[in-house]
Amino acid sequence: MKVSFLIYYQKNEPISYLKSLIDRCTKKEEINLEEIQLVKSIQEGDIEALGKIFELYKHRALRTVYLITGDKYISEDIVQEAFVQCYFSVKDLRKPEHFKTWFFKMLTRMAWRSIKKEKKIIPTEEIMEKVDLKENSYSLEEGFVQAEQDKKIYKEISKLDLKHQTTIILYYYNELSIKEIAKVMGCLEGTVKSRLHNARNKLKDALEKLDEKEGSNRKESGTFEIYKTI
Protein backbone atom coordinates (compact mmCIF):
# COMPACT_ATOMS: atom_id res chain seq x y z
CA MET A 1 0.00 0.00 0.00
CA LYS A 2 1.38 3.39 -0.98
CA VAL A 3 1.15 6.02 1.70
CA SER A 4 1.78 9.66 1.11
CA PHE A 5 2.75 12.14 3.76
CA LEU A 6 2.08 15.80 3.41
CA ILE A 7 4.25 17.61 5.86
CA TYR A 8 4.35 21.32 6.38
CA TYR A 9 7.46 22.66 7.94
CA GLN A 10 9.32 25.87 8.37
CA LYS A 11 12.64 26.39 6.69
CA ASN A 12 14.54 26.34 9.96
CA GLU A 13 12.99 23.11 11.17
CA PRO A 14 15.72 20.56 11.60
CA ILE A 15 15.71 17.73 9.06
CA SER A 16 16.40 15.29 11.89
CA TYR A 17 12.95 16.04 13.31
CA LEU A 18 11.35 15.22 10.00
CA LYS A 19 13.37 12.03 9.71
CA SER A 20 12.33 10.95 13.19
CA LEU A 21 8.72 11.70 12.29
CA ILE A 22 8.91 9.50 9.22
CA ASP A 23 10.78 6.80 11.13
CA ARG A 24 8.13 6.67 13.80
CA CYS A 25 5.48 6.14 11.17
CA THR A 26 7.31 3.40 9.36
CA LYS A 27 9.72 2.01 11.91
CA LYS A 28 10.53 -1.65 11.78
CA GLU A 29 11.68 -3.43 14.88
CA GLU A 30 15.33 -2.85 15.46
CA ILE A 31 17.28 -6.04 15.43
CA ASN A 32 20.09 -6.28 17.94
CA LEU A 33 22.28 -9.27 17.23
CA GLU A 34 23.96 -9.26 20.61
CA GLU A 35 20.61 -9.27 22.33
CA ILE A 36 19.41 -12.19 20.19
CA GLN A 37 22.45 -14.19 21.24
CA LEU A 38 21.85 -13.39 24.90
CA VAL A 39 18.22 -14.47 24.63
CA LYS A 40 19.25 -17.77 23.03
CA SER A 41 21.70 -18.31 25.89
CA ILE A 42 18.97 -17.68 28.47
CA GLN A 43 16.80 -20.20 26.63
CA GLU A 44 19.55 -22.71 27.34
CA GLY A 45 19.54 -21.83 31.03
CA ASP A 46 22.44 -19.35 31.13
CA ILE A 47 21.65 -17.15 34.11
CA GLU A 48 24.66 -14.91 33.43
CA ALA A 49 23.12 -14.06 30.06
CA LEU A 50 19.97 -13.10 31.97
CA GLY A 51 22.17 -10.76 33.99
CA LYS A 52 23.30 -9.02 30.82
CA ILE A 53 19.74 -8.68 29.56
CA PHE A 54 18.83 -7.32 32.97
CA GLU A 55 21.48 -4.62 32.60
CA LEU A 56 20.06 -3.64 29.21
CA TYR A 57 16.44 -3.48 30.33
CA LYS A 58 16.40 -2.76 34.04
CA HIS A 59 15.90 1.01 33.98
CA ARG A 60 13.29 1.07 31.26
CA ALA A 61 11.44 -1.86 32.82
CA LEU A 62 11.32 -0.39 36.31
CA ARG A 63 10.41 3.10 35.20
CA THR A 64 7.72 1.89 32.81
CA VAL A 65 6.08 -0.10 35.57
CA TYR A 66 6.40 2.83 37.95
CA LEU A 67 4.68 5.10 35.46
CA ILE A 68 1.81 2.63 35.25
CA THR A 69 1.45 1.73 38.93
CA GLY A 70 2.73 4.85 40.65
CA ASP A 71 4.09 2.73 43.51
CA LYS A 72 7.82 2.22 43.94
CA TYR A 73 7.68 -0.93 46.06
CA ILE A 74 5.12 -2.68 43.92
CA SER A 75 7.09 -1.69 40.82
CA GLU A 76 10.25 -3.28 42.18
CA ASP A 77 8.38 -6.49 43.00
CA ILE A 78 6.82 -6.62 39.56
CA VAL A 79 10.09 -6.08 37.72
CA GLN A 80 11.86 -8.68 39.83
CA GLU A 81 9.12 -11.20 39.15
CA ALA A 82 9.17 -10.30 35.44
CA PHE A 83 12.84 -11.20 35.12
CA VAL A 84 12.32 -14.42 37.06
CA GLN A 85 9.40 -15.33 34.78
CA CYS A 86 11.50 -14.31 31.80
CA TYR A 87 14.12 -16.91 32.75
CA PHE A 88 11.56 -19.72 33.02
CA SER A 89 9.30 -18.73 30.14
CA VAL A 90 11.71 -17.49 27.49
CA LYS A 91 12.02 -21.04 26.14
CA ASP A 92 8.54 -20.49 24.67
CA LEU A 93 9.74 -17.49 22.66
CA ARG A 94 10.21 -18.88 19.16
CA LYS A 95 11.80 -15.77 17.70
CA PRO A 96 14.47 -14.26 19.99
CA GLU A 97 14.46 -11.10 17.88
CA HIS A 98 11.02 -10.35 19.32
CA PHE A 99 12.29 -10.42 22.88
CA LYS A 100 11.68 -6.71 23.56
CA THR A 101 7.99 -6.76 22.73
CA TRP A 102 7.56 -10.17 24.40
CA PHE A 103 9.16 -8.90 27.59
CA PHE A 104 7.24 -5.64 27.70
CA LYS A 105 4.02 -7.50 27.02
CA MET A 106 4.66 -9.65 30.09
CA LEU A 107 5.68 -6.60 32.11
CA THR A 108 2.60 -4.52 31.28
CA ARG A 109 0.28 -7.47 31.97
CA MET A 110 1.88 -7.91 35.38
CA ALA A 111 1.54 -4.20 36.11
CA TRP A 112 -2.13 -4.22 35.09
CA ARG A 113 -2.83 -7.30 37.21
CA SER A 114 -1.15 -5.69 40.15
CA ILE A 115 -3.30 -2.58 39.84
CA LYS A 116 -6.47 -4.64 39.61
CA LYS A 117 -5.36 -6.79 42.54
CA GLU A 118 -4.48 -3.83 44.69
CA LYS A 119 -7.68 -2.14 43.48
CA LYS A 120 -6.11 1.21 43.67
CA ILE A 121 -3.94 3.59 41.85
CA ILE A 122 -2.08 5.72 44.30
CA PRO A 123 -3.55 9.21 44.16
CA THR A 124 -1.33 11.41 42.12
CA GLU A 125 -1.52 14.15 44.75
CA GLU A 126 0.42 11.87 47.08
CA ILE A 127 3.04 11.19 44.46
CA MET A 128 3.33 14.75 43.39
CA GLU A 129 4.04 15.86 46.92
CA LYS A 130 7.13 13.70 46.86
CA VAL A 131 8.58 15.44 43.87
CA ASP A 132 11.48 17.53 44.95
CA LEU A 133 11.86 20.38 42.55
CA LYS A 134 15.48 20.82 43.54
CA GLU A 135 16.25 17.32 42.28
CA ASN A 136 15.01 18.42 38.90
CA SER A 137 17.22 21.49 38.96
CA TYR A 138 14.31 23.88 38.79
CA SER A 139 15.53 26.91 40.60
CA LEU A 140 14.23 29.74 38.45
CA GLU A 141 10.67 30.94 38.24
CA GLU A 142 10.40 29.64 34.70
CA GLY A 143 11.63 26.29 35.84
CA PHE A 144 8.99 26.25 38.57
CA VAL A 145 6.28 26.94 36.01
CA GLN A 146 7.64 24.13 33.86
CA ALA A 147 7.69 21.76 36.82
CA GLU A 148 4.08 22.62 37.62
CA GLN A 149 3.16 21.99 34.01
CA ASP A 150 4.91 18.61 34.07
CA LYS A 151 3.04 17.70 37.24
CA LYS A 152 -0.29 18.57 35.70
CA ILE A 153 0.40 16.64 32.54
CA TYR A 154 1.44 13.51 34.43
CA LYS A 155 -1.55 13.84 36.72
CA GLU A 156 -3.86 13.89 33.73
CA ILE A 157 -2.01 10.96 32.14
CA SER A 158 -2.51 8.92 35.29
CA LYS A 159 -6.25 9.65 35.15
CA LEU A 160 -6.58 7.98 31.76
CA ASP A 161 -7.82 4.41 31.69
CA LEU A 162 -5.08 1.76 31.82
CA LYS A 163 -4.92 1.03 28.12
CA HIS A 164 -4.74 4.65 27.01
CA GLN A 165 -2.26 5.40 29.77
CA THR A 166 -0.05 2.47 28.83
CA THR A 167 -0.17 3.44 25.16
CA ILE A 168 0.99 6.96 25.98
CA ILE A 169 3.79 5.63 28.21
CA LEU A 170 5.01 3.08 25.68
CA TYR A 171 4.96 5.64 22.87
CA TYR A 172 6.41 8.71 24.56
CA TYR A 173 8.56 7.26 27.29
CA ASN A 174 9.68 3.94 25.81
CA GLU A 175 9.59 5.30 22.24
CA LEU A 176 8.22 2.07 20.89
CA SER A 177 6.82 2.11 17.38
CA ILE A 178 3.11 1.67 16.67
CA LYS A 179 3.83 -1.86 15.50
CA GLU A 180 5.75 -2.70 18.67
CA ILE A 181 3.05 -1.23 20.91
CA ALA A 182 0.45 -3.30 19.07
CA LYS A 183 2.42 -6.45 19.86
CA VAL A 184 2.95 -5.49 23.49
CA MET A 185 -0.70 -4.68 24.03
CA GLY A 186 -2.05 -7.47 21.90
CA CYS A 187 -4.12 -5.28 19.62
CA LEU A 188 -4.16 -3.98 16.06
CA GLU A 189 -1.96 -1.09 14.94
CA GLY A 190 -5.09 0.88 14.10
CA THR A 191 -6.24 0.47 17.68
CA VAL A 192 -2.93 1.82 18.95
CA LYS A 193 -3.20 4.86 16.69
CA SER A 194 -6.76 5.42 17.77
CA ARG A 195 -5.86 5.18 21.44
CA LEU A 196 -2.94 7.56 21.00
CA HIS A 197 -5.13 10.05 19.22
CA ASN A 198 -7.92 9.77 21.80
CA ALA A 199 -5.51 9.95 24.71
CA ARG A 200 -3.85 13.07 23.34
CA ASN A 201 -7.21 14.75 22.79
CA LYS A 202 -8.39 13.86 26.27
CA LEU A 203 -5.19 15.24 27.75
CA LYS A 204 -5.43 18.43 25.78
CA ASP A 205 -9.06 18.94 26.78
CA ALA A 206 -8.31 18.22 30.40
CA LEU A 207 -5.34 20.57 30.50
CA GLU A 208 -7.23 23.30 28.72
CA LYS A 209 -10.06 23.07 31.23
CA LEU A 210 -7.54 23.13 34.03
CA ASP A 211 -5.93 26.25 32.65
CA GLU A 212 -9.26 27.95 32.21
CA LYS A 213 -10.30 26.98 35.71
CA GLU A 214 -7.14 28.33 37.23
CA GLY A 215 -7.56 31.44 35.14
CA SER A 216 -3.86 31.67 34.69
CA ASN A 217 -2.48 33.54 31.73
CA ARG A 218 0.28 31.49 30.23
CA LYS A 219 0.66 33.55 27.12
CA GLU A 220 4.34 34.17 27.81
CA SER A 221 5.18 30.45 27.88
CA GLY A 222 3.02 29.84 24.83
CA THR A 223 1.25 26.97 26.49
CA PHE A 224 -2.21 28.54 26.63
CA GLU A 225 -2.06 29.38 22.99
CA ILE A 226 -1.08 25.83 22.15
CA TYR A 227 -4.27 24.34 23.52
CA LYS A 228 -6.35 27.13 22.11
CA THR A 229 -4.93 26.57 18.67
CA ILE A 230 -5.76 22.87 18.82
Partner 1 sequence: MKKKVLIERRVALLKSTKLFKEQLKSSLEIKANEIDVKDTMFAKIKYEINEREREMKMSKSFKNNKMKKIMLAGVIGVFSISCVAAPIIKPVITSWIGSSSSQATFNKFPNEKEVQKAVGFLPKYVEMLPNDFTFDSAYISDGYGQDEEGNKVVSTKSIVFDYERAGEVQDKSSKMLILCIEDVPEEFVDYGDAEEVSCGELKLYYNEQLVKNVPAEYELTEEDKLNEASGKVEFNYGTAEVEEIKRTSVVWYENGLEYVLINGDYDLTKDQMLDMAKTVINK
Which CB atom, from 31 or from 142, has the smaller least distance to partner 1? 142
Minimal distance, residue 139 CB to partner 1, in Å: 15
Q: Which stretch binds partner 1 (CB under 8 A): 6-14, 28-36, 181-189, 212-220?
A: 6-14
Which CB atom, from 31 or from 144, has the smaller least distance to partner 1? 144
Return all residues near 78 (Cβ < 8 A) that are at least 6 apart: 65, 69, 107, 110, 111, 114
Q: Does 160 bind partner 1 (CB under 8 A)?
A: no
Q: Does 22 bind partner 1 (CB under 8 A)?
A: no
Which CB atom, from 83 or from 101, has the smaller least distance to partner 1? 83
Minimal distance, residue 134 CB to partner 1, in Å: 13
Q: What is the 3-state secondary structure (H, E, C) of the chain?
A: CCCCCCCCCCCCCCHHHHHHHHHHHHCCCCCCHHHHHHHHHHHCCCHHHHHHHHHHHHHHHHHHHHHHHCCHHHHHHHHHHHHHHHHHHHHHCCCHHHHHHHHHHHHHHHHHHHHHHHCCCCCHHHHHHHCCHHHHCCCCHHHHHHHHHHHHHHHHHHHCCHHHHHHHHHHHHCCCCHHHHHHHHCCCHHHHHHHHHHHHHHHHHHHHHHHHHHCCCCCCCCHHHHHHHC
Count interface residues toward partner 1 (CB under 8 A): 52
Which CB atom, from 40 or from 204, has the smaller least distance to partner 1? 204
CB 167 within 8 A of CB 181: yes
* Stretch 67-126 residues interacting with partner 1 (CB under 8 A): 67, 72, 75-76, 79-81, 83-85, 87-89, 110
If we measure between CA atoms, which residue out of 165, 155, 146, 159 comes closest to residue 128? 155
In the set 168, 178, 184, 192, which binds partner 1 (CB under 8 A)? 168
* Stretch 37-76 residues interacting with partner 1 (CB under 8 A): 47, 50-51, 54, 58-59, 62-64, 66-67, 72, 75-76
Q: Does 140 bind partner 1 (CB under 8 A)?
A: no
- Applying CB under 8 A, the residues found at the interface with partner 1 are 7-10, 17, 47, 50-51, 54, 58-59, 62-64, 66-67, 72, 75-76, 79-81, 83-85, 87-89, 110, 127, 130-131, 136, 147, 149-151, 153-154, 157, 168-169, 172-173, 200, 203-204, 222, 225-226, 229-230
